[in-house]
Structure 1
Amino acid sequence: MLNKLFKLDQKHTSVKTEILAGVTTFLAMAYILGVNPAILGDAGMDMSAVFMATAISSGVACLIMGLLANYPVALAPGMGVNALFAYTICLGMGYSWQAALAAVFVSGIVFVLISVTGVRKMIIDAIPVQLKTAIGAGIGFFIAFVGFKNAGIIIASESTFVTIGSLADPAVLLAIFGILVTIFCVVRKVPAAVFVGLVITAILGIILGIFGLENMPALPQNWGINFDFSAVGACFSGFGELFSNPMSAVVIIFSFLFVDFFDTAGTLVAVGNSIGLVNRQGELENAEQALLADSLGTVFGAVMGTSTVTSFVESTSGVAVGGRTGLTACTTGILFLLSVFISPVILSAITNAVTAPALIVVGVMMAQQLKGIDWDNMIYAIAAFITVISMILTYSISNGIAFGFIAYTVAMIAAGKAKDIHITVWVLMVIFVLYFAFAI
């Protein structure tokens, strides 16, 4: 039955290989179970509810991807998009988390529509690849900055805006230890390196806490599972607040859509190239089904109560051990669903000091996209630099995207290449200018 459903023989794989690949992928991205509740918790959400939403939406989205597209691609609430949700939209722009969930829901619906029409290709072709690359790298720098801040390694300063935190604080030292351990694991190419670093840091923190150090991770006092579904459906109560300022709502929805859309496209291309899903015309087989699965995951995740669910590039770890079909994704999905039974440990043992190393090292991985920028071309160099630096210094992913589009357009005009700017880019630039003029 599995052979017929997932075309195992045709893909030259087996049930055993696919299950092993699914387990490998799960371990590579399991850190999101601790990191996502911590980030969305900063937006005012209940961490228990976010954990349930993260585990269940990840599991369901993986199953949809495996069954609908037969891709070995796993999904979960994305890094970077969760930071956009918490630190830009909620803390920066002042929206409630219910309104932010409403924006995620709408962006998911729009993603569904463009996934089943020809709009998808038009958008991909319209946005310069250099700008897409810069946005991905900028988000990497942003979440790394969040990691340093949450760990207390970087703190606010009246004289210099930011400065180094207290290295005498045990929690700060634990975070630094975690960063070093995670770096070691990544460089040594340890399987599921980020997750391994998180676990080692949490275990050391628990031990230190037992010996009396303050602000350390701890084992749960109550081992009962809290099936907290208080965030389910909360997105529907946020529509009024979200659209109270239509221009701002458009920018927020576009920011979610943009990051999710191109993050998904990049992951699918990376996995597709690895397993021979790219045809002679350079097109991905079943791309529409894969994009539809991703967008459905976003809609379901928003209803459950989490930020944008997207395809994870960590799926390549499962591909590396032989994953070729949707059975890999389904295996990962089942493991995410089963993870609800370890929620007490995750919620008590995963602190900011434990999650900071994951944020920082994942940020490093995302920042590697900067190598794709043509720095000898001042148009691209300016747009990329403005995008990255604006995200960090304005503490806003959406501001960085907006400034990047504006800088690119101005640079193209200055170079006498206004006629080469796609109409979609012109429209977006006008929206962003109006956003800065009237919405902020």
Structure 2
Amino acid sequence: MDKFFKTGERGSSVGQEVRAGLTTFLAMAYIIAVNPALLQEAGVPAMAAVTATCLGAGIMTICMGLFANRPLACASGMGINAVVAYTLTGMTNGDWHAAMAVVFIEGVAITVLVLCGLREAVMDAIPVSLRHAISVGLGLFIAMIGLKDGGVIVANESTMVALGNVTDPGFIVGMISIIASVILFVMNVKGALLWGIIIAMVAGIPLGVTQAPSGIVSGLDFSTFAAPFQTDANGVMGIAKVFATPALLVFAFSLMMSDFFDTMGTAMAVAKQGDFLTEDGNVEDIRQILTVDSIAAAVGGFVGASSITTFVESSSGAADGGRTGLTSVTTGVLFILAAFFAPVITIVNSAATCGALVIVGFLMMGDVVDIDWSDVLQGFPAFMVIAGIPFTYSISDGIGLGFIAYVIVAAVTGKIKEIKPLMWVATIAFIVYFLLV
């Protein structure tokens, strides 16, 4: 095992990798409850959605560990699952099979781009300053997710965002999670982030935040598998409906743009914590990572789980010592087991994971010093990425704003020749994407 995963070579151990895999799983476990709840809005059967969510995440995360040997975990993407539930299903007249077919087609298309080398080439065309900015922006985004999940920040009609109610049980658990995590982290306790989650979960029991499980064992339902090739009440196959509807194919392009750059940002964020990001901002083993991630999107549509993508919460496991694919394999196995014990797993509340995500956000801020703020061509586009990712609550949208800003500033400062051809392609694609969404 050590030879296959190179745990010793990367300064890790089997125990450290397993612990990191558990940390990642607990940080992601909310998806087991949230994704089926959203997909039910689209008409997907409840138990089938749970099965698809768990098995899809488990299988593709294990594949990531075995093929890429990096600590990245995959699951149904938040945002895209909401699009499937509230937008795509409406466009298909309530046919969720066709909605999953759109996701499936998007996954196949982006897999082709990876195999052709285009996705990797676009990453290579990104200026170094923007690569650092993506890492910093992701750090703020991850911290924002953690603070939101812990009820520390809440939506506000007047100010957009505000401090949560300090007497709310969720807020209290969130703060306990942050305080416990930072104390353990400062004290160099092994598995600090994992222990922070566990302490917050225990503290949430008397506060009513950590609920008792409704059961222990759950059955499996495979009725959503091969969703794109299932038929509606009129006998029309979902994938056939997509190819017959140009608007759905255009929507597939929008999903592809989001998937394309979300994963790029996530990979850089996890690589920063897992020590496989080079000094010039390149992610080691990126082709293998992108290949698995792209196939995962198609698999998500096929099994009826929405698009499966690399989760930014993977950075919590990497920050907790995960360095190899054994972390991913551990997380994947836990997801598969969760398919049988979903009622127990779903007691892991998002407030308890708040501290882990905030610590990860803190750790990712270091890249800000590597950006030349005295050079407007490097500084302003970087700022747009850093501000854009958390403020739009979208990785791809923030990256798009930075790309467009870079081209504009380069043009007006007479440095347009510094823009690589694929940077032009990506920027134009972003403009089209913004006009379509």
- Shift of residue 418, structure 1, vs aligned partner: 1.0
- Shift of residue 410, structure 1, vs aligned partner: 0.6
Query: Which residue among 254, 258, 262 is the counterpart of 1:259?
Result: 262
Residues 147 and 357 of structure 1 are in contact (CA less than 8 Å); yes or no, is this contact kept in structure 2?
yes
1:244 is paired with a residue whose SS is helix
Distance 1:235 1:364 in 2: 41
- Shift of residue 372, structure 1, vs aligned partner: 3.6
Residues 26 and 332 of structure 1 are in contact (CA less than 8 Å); yes or no, is this contact kept in structure 2?
yes
Query: Which residue among 410, 427, 430 is the counterpart of 1:429?
Result: 427
Q: Which residue of 2 aligns with 1:201?
A: 200
- Shift of residue 102, structure 1, vs aligned partner: 5.6
Residues 34 and 355 of structure 1 are in contact (CA less than 8 Å); yes or no, is this contact kept in structure 2?
no
Residues 22 and 330 of structure 1 are in contact (CA less than 8 Å); yes or no, is this contact kept in structure 2?
no
Calculate the TM-score normalised by the size of structure 2: 0.75
Distance 2:340 2:350 in 1: 22
2:158 is paired with a residue whose SS is coil
1:31 is paired with a residue whose SS is helix
Distance 1:186 1:287 in 2: 29
Q: Which residue of 2 aligns with 1:309?
A: 309
Distance 1:248 1:224 in 2: 38
Distance 1:144 1:269 in 2: 15
Q: Which residue of 2 aligns with 1:24?
A: 19
- Shift of residue 416, structure 1, vs aligned partner: 0.5
1:36-75 pair list within 5 angstroms: 36-37=31-32, 40=35, 43=38, 52-68=51-67, 71=69, 73-75=70-72
- Shift of residue 125, structure 1, vs aligned partner: 2.2
2:73 is paired with a residue whose SS is strand
Alignment CA distance shift 1:169-1:185 (3 Å): same
- Shift of residue 31, structure 1, vs aligned partner: 1.8
Distance 2:340 2:189 in 1: 26
The yes-or-no answer on 1:155 pairing with 2:148 is no
Q: Point out where structure 2 has 5 or more consecutive residues left out of the alignment.
A: 91-95, 230-237
Residues 101 and 242 of structure 2 are in contact (CA less than 8 Å); yes or no, is this contact kept in structure 1?
no
Q: Which residue of 2 aligns with 1:213?
A: none
Residues 271 and 283 of structure 2 are in contact (CA less than 8 Å); yes or no, is this contact kept in structure 1?
no
- Shift of residue 269, structure 1, vs aligned partner: 8.7
1:177-256 pair list within 5 angstroms: 177-209=176-208, 216-227=209-220, 232-234=225-227, 237=238, 240=242, 244=247, 249-256=252-259
- Shift of residue 414, structure 1, vs aligned partner: 1.5
Q: Which residue of 2 aligns with 1:417?
A: 415
Residues 268 and 283 of structure 2 are in contact (CA less than 8 Å); yes or no, is this contact kept in structure 1?
no
- Shift of residue 177, structure 1, vs aligned partner: 1.6
The yes-or-no answer on 1:142 pairing with 2:141 is yes
Residues 52 and 229 of structure 1 are in contact (CA less than 8 Å); yes or no, is this contact kept in structure 2?
yes
Distance 1:229 1:387 in 2: 41
% identity of equivalent residues: 29
Amino acid aligned to 1:409: V
Q: Which residue of 1 aligns with 2:406?
A: 408
Q: Point out where structure 1 has 5 or more consecutive residues left out of the alignment.
A: 210-215
Amino acid aligned to 1:309: T
Q: Count how many residue pairs are aligned between Structure 1 and Structure 2.
A: 408
- Shift of residue 352, structure 1, vs aligned partner: 3.9
Residues 297 and 309 of structure 1 are in contact (CA less than 8 Å); yes or no, is this contact kept in structure 2?
yes
The yes-or-no answer on 1:393 pairing with 2:391 is yes
Calculate the TM-score normalised by the size of structure 1: 0.74
Alignment CA distance shift 1:289-1:250 (3 Å): closer
- Shift of residue 202, structure 1, vs aligned partner: 1.4
Amino acid aligned to 1:417: K
Residues 102 and 248 of structure 2 are in contact (CA less than 8 Å); yes or no, is this contact kept in structure 1?
no
- Shift of residue 226, structure 1, vs aligned partner: 4.4
Residues 101 and 234 of structure 1 are in contact (CA less than 8 Å); yes or no, is this contact kept in structure 2?
yes
Alignment CA distance shift 1:297-1:75 (3 Å): farther
Q: CA RMSD in A?
A: 4.1
- Shift of residue 382, structure 1, vs aligned partner: 0.9
Amino acid aligned to 1:394: T
- Shift of residue 59, structure 1, vs aligned partner: 3.3
